[in-house]
Structure 1
């Protein structure tokens, strides 16, 4: 008892996902997955330049 509502909700969500049309920006998705964001490339060197002056304790 009580399983009916949960199953009905799961069915509703599954149908919504199956039949909904999404406007996917595949270019933005590829940039996010591959890290081709120009802002991130500019921020990375600054972060590492700050620590480049200090010796790496693992290499001693």
Structure 2
């Protein structure tokens, strides 16, 4: 009981996704997928370490 409305919503969304024409910007997608984010990840992890440097054992000495 109560599943009918949720199932109808899922069916509606599935039909929209299946039959709607999409204007996809493939160049933007390719740029996002091939973007070199290893340097930004390394920078982000360095920033996180700096935030908690005050709490480390070595900084208490």
Relative to the length of structure 2, the TM-score reads 0.55
Relative to the length of structure 1, the TM-score reads 0.56
| Partner residue, 2:26 | 26
| Partner residue, 1:10 | 10
Task: Kindly state the Cα deviation for residue 20 of structure 1 after the two structures are TM-superposed.
Answer: 0.9
How many pairs are equivalent?
Answer: 39
User: Runs of 5+ in structure 1 lacking a partner?
Assistant: 48-60
User: Runs of 5+ in structure 2 lacking a partner?
Assistant: 44-61
Structure 1 runs of 4+ with >3 Å offset: none
RMSD: 1.9
SS at match of 1:21: coil
